[in-house]
Structure 1
Amino acid sequence: MIDEIDLIALLADHAELARHCDLLEAVADDLPALPADDDATSLCHMLEHRLSTHEARERRFMETVFAAQSVPSGEALLDRIRCRGVSQVMQAQDLIAALQPYAAPLPATTLGYMLRCFFEGCRADMAFEELAILVLAERRLTPAARSLLRNSLDQRCRV
């Protein structure tokens, strides 16, 4: 069985990543003005460390929870989650290179596109992951875990 305590770290991680997406969206909204050097350095640090930590933690969680489970399409869902996690880390590296205070400035439209692709992709991926857990583990979720996951998914999908 999967109880809410098993999901709390993952969902807290998603909530923190969602806050980072909000910060990146604010940067995109403020273009063509670039963030101050200190803010850009902070964003780069967050992108460099936060995303790789999130990807590794999430991969371990999914592998642990679904290692021995045979669910139709389950492996395809997990493969997609793994691939998107790697893609997010690579996109973060591109953003780090673009946001460094010493980097050659990109056109605002290019940087805006990069930022929006990243944070919109992250938000969609978090919703997909939570939905995948609901589908793959529906019979193994306790009522409290199911409720926690549904509440998080509701928050993630609000417009």
Structure 2
Amino acid sequence: MTDASPAKRLDDAGVCRTPHPLEIIEEEHALQLELCALLESIADNLPAKLEPALAVIAISILKGSVKAHTKFEEDALFPILRGRLSSNDTVVQALASLSQQHECDEDIADELVEALTDALQSGAPQNPETLGYILRGYFENQRRHIAWEESVVLPAARKALTVEDLARLQEWIMTSDHPRCIRIPLLTLRAGKSSSSICVKCPASLGQEK
């Protein structure tokens, strides 16, 4: 393990740190907490009313960034982090628990998307009490889940992951269905045949950045 921050290690190694994988996770956690607040607002307004605009936003986030975030952690971050830790490390045990939560939360998220979509189409939820119960269960679980990742997983990742590990995570992000980069517009990223090929042309990757 090393005490240097992931960002500094990427800089020292001359590796493009945009998007920094651990900072991406923190940003996505912030978005998910905003989603939790939005879902709580929807639940608080039931059964009196369902605000269509809030429901549309919630559906979009649940179907898009939340699923992408979970896939990134399960397919990239967690396996790489496990490889840097001993099998009896408490963080490895935490990762197993978080993976189980991911499966459960994905099922609930799908149920929420379906229920909110049906409510929008019909003009009102068929069973507002049940919808409110599902909403509260989801956002309460998510808040605990995010707090656990922020306090356990990310600190462990900052200490354990190497420059090579971080570069692999960056590559995963840039070649995924949801590439992220503050240097390149999102439409350009998604229109390109390969985000990794776009990276090759980036001045930061070529060492041309001033």
| TM interval, short-chain normalised | 0.7 to 0.9
The alignment status of 1:37 with 2:52, answered yes or no, reads yes
CA deviation vs aligned residue, 1:25-68 (integer Å, no higher than 9, x gap): 11111111333434423321221112211101222222223323
Match of 2:83 in 1: 67
Q: CA deviation at 1:77?
A: 1.2
Provide the TM-score with structure 1 as the length reference: 0.75
Match of 1:48 in 2: 63
CA–CA distance in structure 2, aligned partners of residues 48 and 38 of structure 1:
16
Could you tell me which runs of 5 or more consecutive residues in structure 1 were left unpaired when the two chains were aligned. Answer: 142-159
- The structure number with the bigger radius of gyration is 2
Asked if 2 retains the 8 angstrom alpha-carbon contact of 1:98 and 1:111, the reply is: yes
Asked if 2 retains the 8 angstrom alpha-carbon contact of 1:55 and 1:86, the reply is: no
Q: Which moved more, 1:43-52 or 1:103-112?
A: 103-112
Match of 1:144 in 2: none
Asked if 2 retains the 8 angstrom alpha-carbon contact of 1:25 and 1:119, the reply is: yes
CA–CA distance in structure 1, aligned partners of residues 114 and 141 of structure 2:
19
Asked if 1 retains the 8 angstrom alpha-carbon contact of 2:29 and 2:146, the reply is: yes
CA–CA distance in structure 1, aligned partners of residues 57 and 91 of structure 2:
37
What SS does the aligned partner of 2:64 have? helix
- Percent identity reads 28
Quickly say closer, same or farther: Cα 1:44–1:22, change in 2 above 3 A.
same
Provide the TM-score with structure 2 as the length reference: 0.58
Question: 2:127 aligned to 102, 107, 130, which one?
Answer: 107
Match of 2:98 in 1: 81
Question: 2:28 aligned to 9, 13, 23, which one?
Answer: 13
Say which structure, 1 or 2, has more relative contact order (CA 8 Å, 6+ apart).
1
Q: CA deviation at 1:138?
A: 7.8
What SS does the aligned partner of 2:35 have? helix
Q: CA deviation at 1:11?
A: 0.8
RMSD: 2.5
